[in-house]
Amino acid sequence: MTALFSPLALGGMELPNRIAVSPMAQYSSAPDGCAGDWHLVHLGQLSYSGAGLVMTEATAVEPDGRGSLQCLGLYGDAQEQALGRVVDFCRQWGGARLGVQLSHTGRKGSVRLPWAGRGPLPVQEGGWHVEAPSALAADDGGPVPAELDEGGLRRIGQAFVSAARRAVRVGFDVVELHAAHGYLLHQFLSPLSNRRDDGYGGDAERRMRFPLEVAQAVRDAVPSDRAMGVRISASDWAEGGFGLDDAVAFAGALKSIGCDYVCVSSGGLVGHQQIRVVPEYQVPFASEVRRRTGMATRAVGMIALAQQADAIVRSGRADFVALGRAMLDDPRWGWHAAEVLGAAVAYPQPYARAASAAWPGARLVRPGAA
């Protein structure tokens, strides 16, 4: 058996293989945070892609935690029911485990859709006033957020717990917190966005306090037969920002409160970041976090080939990998990776005749197909 197609235990559950579909914002078909037909088709087809785990896009824990007016949420009965419809479909037809990424955008929220310019969305057009650890704009000239007080912190912490409980009722196998990409929990962690002088700002330990409080409360709300993880950042790619040593310390603290894994990403906090994007550019971060903490890690970032993904897992640089745009490009990526690596994956019965063993045409479109 190849490393990539071996099972992976996370907490009290098991993934059938080491391939995950990354959370990918869709900015589509989610009025008031409610998943629509787009999500049914998007996540439905990925549930039978051959991946062992399919993650939803970042899913807001309160309305003002969304990125745009069309971003997913899980903060009320309507949102729970709409997302439950998608989960039920994926369960019926797909073989992947299902995960939800809970998020709050903080100062990066209330924006226009990417294809409409992605600028700030004014209140008169349905936008909202954003909040953050400190009154610091994400970009030069951008809206200055209101600094969260202790009441606001309690409200958001409770929203994360409520969303986690809804996720459990919906039937997700994995609940993941988004503490990367410049969203609210990451904003607390980084000295570039957190200039507070109370117990939630200052040195690294105090900057970690709110994210860890949220993580502990969510861990308490997620039963032991589900997995709970956190997407973290390992670099702000900007001078004076959150870095690898900070990520190792944060991951170690998450491990101590019972988190089952971390997904190690980077960037997204400030507009002046300087990122050199090359194949596997974030994998060394995951490898170092894994080496220094012993925690299960998921690697991301320009992983597109089956051989790449298998080598990352086989060499011990990460326990599993997540693919985003590679899956958008080829929603059957897992099937085709299994062909390349000589592994087997389950096909839904209506599609079984497209497997290379049953369809000679596979060797016409993919000459290396077994």
Q: Given the residues 48, 183, 200, 261, select the one marked as catalytic.
A: 183
E strands, the chain, are: 8-10, 13-15, 19-21, 53-60, 97-103, 131-132, 146-147, 174-179, 227-233, 261-265, 296-299, 320-323
> How far is Cα 357 from Cα 161, in angstroms, rounded to an integer?
46
* Residue 110 structure tokens: 């209330």
E strands, 133-173, are: 146-147
> How far is Cα 39 from Cα 330, in angstroms, rounded to an integer?
17
Catalytic status, residue 48:
no
Ordered DSSP codes for 205-243: HHHTHHHHHHHHHHHHHS-TTSEEEEEEES--SSTTS--
Whole-number Cα distances in Å, 114 to 72, 110, 206: 15, 12, 34
Residues annotated as catalytic are: 183
